[in-house]
């Protein structure tokens, strides 16, 4: 568990971060989002003591980070940055092996770990292990960056705009990979992003910052349902907010049973999102969709009328 309690940071007397308090339970993902210069990276870097905090307390599993040697601390914490931070004169395998080498693992264990991580991140060992970073595509380099951060099997992963420099398709693919990895690795992750869709997609806990302070924090759905002010609302997509909320909701949780009436010819997978359901309804001019399981067998119905009722029911009443 990561805890920040009333944390402050000043640069030359000017506050960069003021009174930040947040808690990330073990195995959960927290996203820091906000306008440029609001203190996201500073907050992240204080967690692994790349920057020292001036006030408040930061604790990892209850232990204040000031009481841990910074080098020991950083070996427990994987760190991924936007332009990968790979050593340009080291080959991929050596870059990934950085922390295991520092930890003085035996050679065979390091080699096995590098091969394991490259497989985990979808990187071909034979093709890429001996290349230098400049011989990689942006997506490959970023995967190597993530592999390197995971190499020492840290329980905590900090990621600063990890996919910021990638094209949208590669970015989406890597987001999927990180979500897939996280579902089995259960790391405690804090990441900084400018991409709200990325934050909504990956985070269990969303923290919105402005001018060094937290404006609002909570689960993505809670924030989408009740942004506290126009700034948060606009960051969350303004008029697109309903669709972003629908993207986080699953068909399986909102379908009804198959009625006596003829099933709709338009179908949707039980694993799809409500946003995808709405899109199919618009495309097919259909107010009802037949929900099918993985074997294409009808298992229920998604109805526009019911959806509207349910989402109204979930919206808080405005003051
Ligand atoms: N080493 C430093 N020395 C002086 N001021 C700094 C330093 N690092 C950050 N700052 C200032 O602290 C504030 C917060 O910076 P920070 O990099 O944390 O913001 P950010 O939210 O991550 O921004 P961006 O989204 O643009 O990366 C900014 O005003 C920045 O200029």
pLDDT in tens, 146-189: 889 888 889 999 999 888 777 788 788 888 888 888 888 899 99
Q: What is the pLDDT, as a whole number, of residue 11?
A: 93
- Which residue in this structure is represented by tokens 């991580």? 117
Which of 22-31, 96-105, 195-204, 212-221 bottoms out in mean pLDDT, i.e. has the lowest?
Answer: 96-105
pLDDT tens digits, one per residue of 48-60: 999 999 999 999 9
Which own/partner pairs from 176-182 qualify as long-range (CB within 8 Å, at least 24 positions apart)? 177/121, 177/122, 177/143, 178/146, 178/202, 181/120, 182/29
| Averaged pLDDT, 108-124 | 90
Delimiting residues of CATH 3.10.580.10 domain(s) in the chain: 249-314
For residue 41, give the ligand 1 atom closest to its CA.
22
Is a pLDDT exceeding 70 seen at residue 314? no
Q: Which residues contact 16 (CB under 8 A, 6 or more apart)?
A: 9, 10, 39, 42, 212
Report which DSSP code applies to 255.
-
Task: Given CATH 1.20.140.10, say whether it is the number of domain 2-239.
Answer: no
Q: In the chain, what percentage of residues exceed pLDDT 70? A: 96
What confidence score (pLDDT) does residue 140 get? Answer: 87
Residue 174: what are its φ and ψ, rounded to 5°?
-65, -35
pLDDT single digits (tens) 19-49: 999 999 999 999 999 988 999 999 999 999 9
In this structure, the residue with its CA closest to atom 11 of ligand 1 is 16
Mean pLDDT, residues 118-127: 88
Which tokens hold the place of 268? 């949707």
DSSP E strands in 25-147: the ranges are: 29-34, 55-60, 63-64, 77-81
Tens of pLDDT, residue by residue over 273-307, are: 999 999 999 999 999 999 999 999 999 999 999 88
How does the average pLDDT of the chain come out, rounded?
89
Q: d(Cα 274, Cα 246) in Å, to the nearest integer?
A: 5
Residue 205, pLDDT above cutoff 80:
yes
User: What is the predicted ipTM?
Assistant: 0.95
**Sheet with 77-81, side-by-side order of all strands:** 77-81, 156-160, 188-192, 29-34, 205-210, 213-218
Which strands make up the sheet holding 55-60, listed edge to edge?
Answer: 14-24, 2-11, 55-60, 63-64
11 lines ligand 1 (CB under 6 A): yes
* Res 319 pLDDT > 50: no
pLDDT of residue 318: 43
Q: Do residues 302 and 289 make contact, with C-beta atoms less than 8 angstroms apart?
A: yes
Ligand 1 pocket check for 16: Cβ under 6 Å: yes
* Greatest Cα-to-Cα distance within the chain, rounded to the nearest angstrom: 71
User: Atom 17 in ligand 1: which residue has the minimum CA distance?
Assistant: 41
Nearest-5° angle of CA 164, CA 27, CA 113? 75
For residue 312, pLDDT beyond 60: no
Residue 53: both structure tokens together: 């905090």
- pTM score, whole prediction: 0.86
pLDDT for residue 311 is more than 70: no
* 41 CA from centroid of ligand 1 (Å): 7
Of 148, 162, 191, nearest to 28 (Cα)? Answer: 191
**Ligand 1 pocket check: which of 31, 34, 37 to mutate, most ligand atoms within 8 Å of Cβ?**
37
- CATH 3.40.50.300 domain locations along the chain: 2-239
Q: What is the mean pLDDT of residues 63-68?
A: 92
For residue 269, name the pLDDT band (cuts at 50, 70, 90). Answer: very high
Question: Ligand 1 atom closest to Cα of 192?
Answer: 22
Whether 87 has a pLDDT exceeding 60, the answer reads yes
pLDDT over threshold 50, residue 313: no
pLDDT score recorded for residue 97: 92
Quick one: pLDDT at residue 287?
93
Q: In angstroms, rounded to a whole number, what is the distance separating the alpha carbons of residues 84 and 127? A: 19
- Third-level CATH fold of 249-314: CBS-domain (3.10.580)
Q: Could you tell me the sign of the dihedral formed by the alpha carbons of 203, 118, 2, 58, in that order?
A: negative
Select from 8, 16, 48 the residue to mutate for testing ligand 1; criterion: most ligand atoms less than 8 Å from CB: 16
| Across 105-120, average pLDDT | 91
């Amino acid at each position: 568990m990561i805890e920040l309690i009333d944390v402050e940071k000043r640069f030359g007397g000017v506050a960069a971060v003021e009174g930040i308090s947040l808690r990330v339970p073990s195995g959960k993902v927290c996203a820091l989002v906000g306008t440029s210069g609001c203190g996201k990276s500073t907050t992240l870097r204080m967690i692994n003591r790349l920057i020292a905090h001036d006030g408040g307390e930061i604790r990892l599993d209850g232990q204040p980070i000031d009481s841990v040697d910074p080098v020991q601390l950083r070996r427990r914490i994987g760190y991924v940055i936007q332009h990968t931070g790979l050593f340009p004169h080291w080959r991929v395998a050596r870059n990934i092996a950085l922390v295991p080498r520092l930890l003085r693992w035996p050679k065979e264990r390091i080699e096995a770990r590098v091969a394991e991580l490259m497989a985990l991140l979808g990187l071909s060992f034979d093709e890429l292990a001996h290349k230098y970073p400049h011989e990689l595509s942006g997506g490959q380099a970023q995967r190597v960056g993530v592999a390197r951060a995971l190499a020492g099997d840290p329980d905590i992963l900090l990621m600063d705009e990890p996919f910021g420099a990638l094209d949208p398709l590669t970015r989406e693919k890597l987001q999927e990979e990180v979500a897939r990895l996280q579902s089995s690795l259960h790391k405690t992750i804090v990441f900084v992003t400018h991409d709200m869709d990325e934050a909504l997609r990956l985070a269990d806990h969303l923290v919105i910052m402005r001018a060094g302070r937290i404006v609002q924090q909570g689960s993505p759905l809670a924030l989408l349902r009740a942004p506290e002010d126009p700034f948060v609302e606009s960051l969350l997509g303004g008029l697109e907010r309903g669709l972003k909320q629908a993207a986080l909701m699953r068909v399986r949780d909102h379908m009804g049973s198959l009625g006596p009436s003829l099933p709709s010819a338009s179908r949707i997978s039980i694993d799809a999102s409500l946003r995808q359901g709405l899109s199919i309804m618009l495309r097919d001019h259909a107010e009802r969709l037949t929900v099918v399981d993985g074997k294409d067998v009808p298992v229920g119905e998604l109805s526009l009328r019911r959806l509207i009722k349910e989402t109204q029911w979930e919206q808080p009443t405005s003051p």
